Amino acid sequence: MTRPLTSNPGPEPGRRTGRDRRSFKRIELKLTGRFLTGENEDHELRTSDVSCDGAFIVSREQPGIDQQVICYFDEVGRVVANVVRHTGDGFAVRFHTSPHKRDKLADRLTWLLNREALGLEEEEDRASDRYRASGEAILTLSGGRMLQCSVTDISLTGAAFEALGKPPFVGEKVTVGNLTAEVVRVTGNKFAVRYLHGTEAQPSRS
């Protein structure tokens, strides 16, 4: 997405290089599907987070460490993986993918992460290094104000918008659909956000 899972607020979303855009960032994304073990046993799966390098699968079934599993994700497709870690809730897997397959997986994860929050259409071109978008979105600012925006770019780590009104300020936390984000760049009425996950997404305490 294995490289440390970091989020760098510097570059504007949509202006990262292809390599940076496909960094192995773990994102909170719930995918459903099924997985097969070596004995061809079929089990339901649900991810709690995923990257183009691997995923954490919530399941009462726990294949052995290093065991190969074949995952069939409903909205991603077939991916071969190996179990690398167990927890009380499930197990983590590392995907075995070619660079081309990993790039396509990064494209698809980017799309799925942004689709519901930004209301994007399925026919949107996901092939270019810069993900252009043309949908409308309503952001909720930290003070509760609703801001109507046009989406201009999307990525796994954030998105860029053009505000139809006064834009938020740098450092402000905003809500985009079910995603929490931080404003990292403002230029006129255009601004970019990076998505927050885990403890970063929790409300600030005064």
pLDDT tens per residue across span 102-111: 888 888 888 8
The CATH architecture one would assign to domain 123-201 is Beta Barrel (2.40)
Least confident of 21-25, 58-62, 152-156, 173-177: 21-25
Contact 195, 155 (CB under 8 A): no
User: Residue 131 pLDDT more than 90?
Assistant: no
Q: What are residue 169's phi and psi, to 5 degrees? A: -100, 160
| pTM tops 0.85 | no
Q: Which residue has the higher pLDDT, 193 or 15?
A: 193
Q: Mean pLDDT across the stretch 55-84? A: 92
Give 50's strand partners.
27, 55
pLDDT at 121: 59
CA distance 2 to 138: 35
Residue 129's pLDDT band (cuts 50, 70, 90):
very low
Residue 37 buriedness (CB in 10 A; 0-12 / 13-18 / 19+): middle
pLDDT at 128: 38
Six-digit token pair at 197? 């996950």
Contact 29, 112 (CB under 8 A): yes
> What is the domain partition of the chain in residue ranges?
123-201
User: Residue 24 pLDDT more than 90?
Assistant: no
- Mean pLDDT for the chain overall: 79
Q: Mean pLDDT across the stretch 104-120? A: 79
Share of the chain above pLDDT 90, in %: 35
User: Residue 1 pLDDT more than 50?
Assistant: no
**Highest mean pLDDT, choosing among 75-79, 153-157, 187-191, 194-198:** 187-191
CA distance 122 to 105: 16
Q: Mean pLDDT across the stretch 76-91? A: 93
- Among 132, 135, 139, smallest CA distance to 119 is for 135
CA distance 55 to 10: 26
